[in-house]
Structure 1
């Protein structure tokens, strides 16, 4: 279904007639890479559970991935083009979830929602896209590296090895665990970005200030920014890896182009792309840095999320154990999930390295890439073990990663690329010359089937039916009822709580909401004075209603106080204050009937960040356009 749509989208509308259409289709199919098509075809078995009825809500973040999206969608429909507020959290008081949750993955899923998919289906479709894009990215990256590594004057067929690398990246255990065990939407989407970011920076540094450098710089900046806007985790983990790769690539460039000025230009381009990426993400990063500290931080780094409880034992990297539980045993013996690297990738990398060493091939680009990937992979594995405890303790910001084994996402990328390069070494030096391309193709197909066979047993998860309550505010409410220890508060909350005036509303048998809009949640209460609440409403980023009071009164709005709330009484901005002890909002009204509207609006950090991001984006697009006109 996906590939025909992609092909159809490439055709001009004037060709949508009989013979012309058939001819255009034949020409388009003729230009498509058959190995890439085969890669996508062989990726489909990994997506099979997504096509089944039901969903794995009981996976680690299975519910979160859906109810984050439904709250994101509710805010969008309520006019918040960049949502910050999740209205159903904290028993209905709401929480600035999207101040700390990067938004890009939700925007992608939102496309499917707007096309008519339910929230659960939209999440599943987003994962399908991520898997196909990640396979494609690894395929293109490995092909690019191998073509750069080829001796001058030769045109080796790099597609068989790239096919193997792409499949390894799809079926490597942690990639499958990220979706079927963890069901972590944004974590999984990150793996789709990794190869594209590396490819963009590799080409930027390799080609330096050659023609079209503004376009290459823009692509590198946009790719890295897309990654950072997909998950906050990338800022602390993937960004250092990109910086390390840039230094490695600059060192390679310095050997081939030893002139100092040339190296400085390449360095400036790489640094410029990195800086532009950070500026592009300012709309997210500035509010995160300015407003994030007002949120209770300890809940995100203690107890369940304390990194000291989640180190991996060396043996677990090679254990075939697989489970749907949690990493809840600090000693590792009784962990409920697996942390294996992937036996096929490890064996392939080892055999390929051995063949390369025995071949006598002179030191070159391929060997340099292999050495870099192998070294980084070992360091990543070390960082996930308790042997690195001192480093984790020394760098407090690492605690935000929460689970050291999350670095398996990075090692899945490096090991897959490493194995792909090693496969090419096997095809180049391990296959007799007289066998020719046919043997390489056969070897690639054999390895492809082996990769699928080794990983297919990990494809799938226990499914639960998609019931109506799973896709509205009751999903958040019930999760917090079951896990009250995971309720997070703001700095204005003086007395923790686990229920609210809306607890009964959510528990009602006739609870209903329409894309986040609900007229039954108890949003208003008169706390001083006499009167009544005539009506009330609740939407994705706003709430309010009408009150009728006999005289001056104070009305409490059942929303968590946070920067950005704008309170209006009868259409006029009104002074609001914190309502203790639960850190809510309250406002004074005179006697009579009054309409109260509360909406999440901009703040100085959000406005400043948006200006910086838009200015940077326009500058990059302007440079791209200028380069195209030259």
Structure 2
């Protein structure tokens, strides 16, 4: 009977762990979902939402990995995802495509990632501590103030999402070190490689910090004689440890090379690679007086504050861990390793580490803020807490008292960290809202440093959405017509007629990935003017010109390395006879191939209009279907034959009775492209958003447009050969 009772108790213990992880997942998801209502107004949060919106639009048009967002930077475009890690934007973008609002989709995605990071921390700490102790450590990582500061104060959503990966790295590393025999085929080795790739694709600065921490702790890990080969010298154990931890990391580098390699090799094409001082970190070191807070509840600093203090419990936890090294036997090595990592990470945030930062400024300077190391410190402190509590719970490690104690600690940690700022977001999240924000703050693409601005743009970034500070010299008129034949997300084809040789300029920044073909023959594009716009020389006559985004050499090299990494993972799955894993991995490969092929990318044929207003020609229009209560997005395609006067474009939508039921007026080229920016030979488009009545019935409605001089709406211009000022664009289809 006693044996049966013991067996039953042993059977209940794993069930308690599963229940604990299930409750952790549910409660963490709900807590973060509720905590982000209303969505906080933060310095960086809106720009990440804008990037999510832009990615969703690209996916809607069949472009799986858009390295260029065409509606950023006042419509001149920006190579955001060519340089910024893309992974954190995909979950909310896909949810947005499924019908959720942009903010709701982001809240759901972040809540799920937050909960999964807690579950990953629990599983990782479970490998070195009892389940209740691991639960307490996982709750500490979830309630760590810096990660909530990332979300609610800074709005650093990718870094917040990156908290998912360090626990998986720890889980995989512990498993790899313990794996016997063919360790490289173990599940832990595969997980470790995928976690490194996921971290690099989510937030490359966190990946850099994790790699540096691995290098710093590697010699200590090899000290333990339990690391294979068990009875060999320290040198052989060090080499074995380096292989077991380094080779999966290298495989992760291969998997993520399609993004990381072009971002590194082609950094000099944008502001992020410009030579600039890297000593900005010096203003953000903590001193011993402001290293940690002593308040009973954490007081979050402002986003403009120079430092982010450690929580109240951090220093006592470190001190307790140091003392526990004397009496904690079973987990002493793990405690010492976690303590070393935590102390190193804390030290790197302080003024005393400045000499090291100065010595490694070309590398560490990329981090910008020393307090970023708290991203990894959260897990290190969670590990310390789990190991210490494991000693406390040693007598009855899975008793009800142990579980209750772990839960109580978690509640106290969340109460301590929950005094979050609550300023709701009030601004819009459309492209025009981004332009208005940039124009107001003198920045570009949502960043004040211009880090993604192509280096061929000579104009100061604060002037890009307004008239030039140095007006261009007068240019002769351009005898040019340019009818768009096909227009996609990152490609366009025009039927051109030029009466004489001239330079055709497009309304997008020059970037080496743009390819231009005239009559099927590649023509080398060049940057034009102080805006560095994409331009090409066009001979006289009739021509067909195609502009498309093409992979650069670095992109092809990165793709090749990622394909090699994909094949290695497939080989390891085959050796493990993991049929389900192979099926999933093959499916991911097919999706990647489909995206690379371009077969899914959509293009539209705008309806010809050909209305000549003198200095500008309205060549064509595109009017996609719309739902009632939304906005009709009428895209107009213009050719500038001369620099126009200050003109206003208007779009009218007629009701069944022929009267105007909806309209919108705005400056030609938008308010952020004044007439002086519209030079002869420029091909540009303008999307006019016309709000529609919510009660509008399904059907087809005529759309008309025209121009009038600014301030003279009663004196509209009439296009050559037209009897009336308004030009018919086509029909708007309203669907239910």
TM-score band by shorter chain is 0.7 to 0.9
Per-residue deviation, 1:66: 0.6
**Residue matched to 2:385:** 419
Structure 2 residue 243 is the aligned partner of structure 1 residue 259: no
Q: Which has the higher strand share?
A: 2
Asked whether the 8 Å contact 2:321–2:384 carries over to 1, the reply is no
Distance change >3 Å, CA 208–CA 111, structure 1 → 2: farther
**Residue matched to 1:518:** none
Per-residue deviation, 1:51: 5.6
Deviation larger for 312-321 or 261-270: 261-270
Per-residue deviation, 1:139: 0.5
Asked whether the 8 Å contact 1:218–1:621 carries over to 2, the reply is no
Distance change >3 Å, CA 164–CA 560, structure 1 → 2: same
Per-residue deviation, 1:217: 2.4
**What SS does the aligned partner of 1:498 have?**
helix
**What SS does the aligned partner of 1:598 have?**
strand
Please point out which of 31, 34, 45 is paired with 2:19.
Answer: 34
The residue correspondences of 1:184-583 to structure 2 (distance < 5 A) are 184-210=156-182, 213-253=185-225, 257-259=230-232, 264-297=239-272, 306-319=280-293, 320=295, 322-323=299-300, 325-329=302-306, 339-344=308-313, 346-347=315-316, 350-351=319-320, 354=323, 357=326, 360-362=327-329, 364=330, 366-395=331-360, 396-428=362-394, 437-458=399-420, 461-465=422-426, 469-484=428-443, 485-488=448-451, 489-500=453-464, 529-532=478-481, 534=483, 540-542=489-491, 547-569=496-518, 573-583=522-532
Distance change >3 Å, CA 494–CA 112, structure 1 → 2: same
**What SS does the aligned partner of 2:85 have?**
coil
**Residue matched to 1:4:** none
**What SS does the aligned partner of 1:86 have?**
coil
**In 2, Cα distance between equivalents of 1:619 and 1:277:** 11
**In 2, Cα distance between equivalents of 1:453 and 1:615:** 48
Which stretches in structure 1 are left out of the alignment for 5+ residues?
1-26, 147-157, 333-338, 505-525
**Residue matched to 1:118:** 101
Per-residue deviation, 1:602: 0.5
**In 2, Cα distance between equivalents of 1:436 and 1:470:** 49
Per-residue deviation, 1:137: 1.0
Let me know the Cα RMSD of the aligned residues: 3.3
Q: TM-score, normalised by structure 1?
A: 0.78
**Residue matched to 1:55:** 39
Bigger relative CO (Cα 8 Å, ≥ 6 apart):
1
**Residue matched to 2:557:** 608
Distance change >3 Å, CA 108–CA 44, structure 1 → 2: closer
Distance change >3 Å, CA 255–CA 123, structure 1 → 2: closer
**In 2, Cα distance between equivalents of 1:264 and 1:387:** 32
**In 2, Cα distance between equivalents of 1:32 and 1:323:** 33
Asked whether the 8 Å contact 1:300–1:402 carries over to 2, the reply is no
**In 2, Cα distance between equivalents of 1:445 and 1:211:** 36
Please point out which of 132, 146, 152 is paired with 1:180.
Answer: 152
**What SS does the aligned partner of 1:95 have?**
coil
**Residue matched to 2:135:** 163
Distance change >3 Å, CA 371–CA 528, structure 1 → 2: farther
**Residue matched to 1:65:** 48
Distance change >3 Å, CA 601–CA 423, structure 1 → 2: same
**Residue matched to 1:511:** none
**In 1, Cα distance between equivalents of 2:321 and 2:282:** 36
Please point out which of 506, 526, 535 is paired with 1:586.
Answer: 535
**In 2, Cα distance between equivalents of 1:216 and 1:323:** 37
Alpha-carbon deviations, 1:301-337, whole Å to 9, x = none? 659x9212222233333224634623455xx6xxxxx
Per-residue deviation, 1:281: 1.8
Deviation larger for 123-132 or 586-595: 586-595
**Residue matched to 1:599:** 548
Please point out which of 81, 84, 90 is paired with 1:107.
Answer: 90
**In 2, Cα distance between equivalents of 1:527 and 1:356:** 81
Per-residue deviation, 1:214: 4.5
Q: How many residues align?
A: 549
Asked whether the 8 Å contact 1:208–1:269 carries over to 2, the reply is no
Q: TM-score, normalised by structure 2?
A: 0.68
Distance change >3 Å, CA 298–CA 608, structure 1 → 2: closer
Distance change >3 Å, CA 164–CA 32, structure 1 → 2: closer
**What SS does the aligned partner of 1:135 have?**
helix
Alpha-carbon deviations, 1:51-91, whole Å to 9, x = none? 62x422x3121111111222233344444433211223333
Asked whether the 8 Å contact 1:46–1:456 carries over to 2, the reply is no
**In 2, Cα distance between equivalents of 1:455 and 1:161:** 20
Asked whether the 8 Å contact 1:317–1:341 carries over to 2, the reply is yes
Asked whether the 8 Å contact 1:99–1:292 carries over to 2, the reply is no
**Residue matched to 1:22:** none
Deviation larger for 243-252 or 599-608: 243-252
Asked whether the 8 Å contact 2:321–2:339 carries over to 1, the reply is no
**What SS does the aligned partner of 2:556 have?**
helix
**In 2, Cα distance between equivalents of 1:246 and 1:264:** 10
**In 2, Cα distance between equivalents of 1:276 and 1:262:** 21
Per-residue deviation, 1:560: 1.5
**In 2, Cα distance between equivalents of 1:300 and 1:370:** 42
Distance change >3 Å, CA 582–CA 327, structure 1 → 2: same
Deviation larger for 342-351 or 310-319: 342-351
**What SS does the aligned partner of 1:229 have?**
helix
**What SS does the aligned partner of 2:154 have?**
coil
Asked whether the 8 Å contact 2:72–2:431 carries over to 1, the reply is no
**What SS does the aligned partner of 1:317 have?**
coil
The higher radius of gyration belongs to 2
Asked whether the 8 Å contact 1:85–1:98 carries over to 2, the reply is yes
Asked whether the 8 Å contact 1:576–1:586 carries over to 2, the reply is yes
Distance change >3 Å, CA 243–CA 111, structure 1 → 2: farther
Which stretches in structure 2 are left out of the alignment for 5+ residues?
1-11, 468-474, 580-736
Per-residue deviation, 1:287: 0.5
